[in-house]
Amino acid sequence: MQITDTLLQKLMEMEGCRLSAYRDEGGVPTIGYGHTRGVRMGDRISPQQARDWLLQDATEVMRQVRRLHVARTEAQLEALTSFAFNVGIGRLKQSTLLKTIRQGGSKAAIQRQFKRWVYAGGSKLPGLVARRQWEAEHFFAPSYPTDDEIIDRV
């Protein structure tokens, strides 16, 4: 499965784009839509390069999320990819969110776990509240099974 236009547009909206390198909250040189690989302070990129890197970065995150074998639908894969793109795949792997999904938690329990991840630097951020709301709702949106789920059924 590839990054859908829906997910790409949502990531662009939620991440925001900066065409000049800056240091993120952790001090890491970052550019475009959260791209960090090989970035040096003083770098500048075009809007097209920012979009291309977002597509590459999000595709890699989606590949890692797929390896967890928990997303049964396209919407679940998109929601978890957005989450992992933001907090990191390592944090998703260690999260109670993933544990709750694996244990077959209820819709309310899973959505509650998404919504816990709204703090950065000890402050509740409106942008993270909105992002987690979208992810929590999108996780349960009607959509097609993932390719893995279709193969498992055969």
Token pair belonging to 129: 């509240």
The letter for the amino acid at 131 is R
34 φ, ψ to 5°? 85, 20
Query: 3-class DSSP state for residue 28?
Result: coil
* Mean pLDDT for the chain overall: 93
Which pTM does this prediction carry? 0.90
Cβ atoms within 10 Å of 3's Cβ, excluding its own? 19
Task: Match domain 5-141 to its CATH number in 2.40.10.10, 1.10.530.40, 3.30.720.120, 1.10.3720.10.
Answer: 1.10.530.40
Residue in 15, 74, 78, 135 annotated catalytic: 15
- pLDDT per position as a tens digit, 106-116: 999 999 999 99
pLDDT classification of 152: cutoffs 50, 70, 90: very low
Sequence ranges of the domains in the chain: 5-141
pLDDT classification of 147: cutoffs 50, 70, 90: low
Active site includes 137?
A: no
Query: CB–CB of 111/38 below 8 Å?
Result: no
Rounded CA-CA distance 39/130 in Å is 28
> Quick one: pLDDT at residue 103?
97
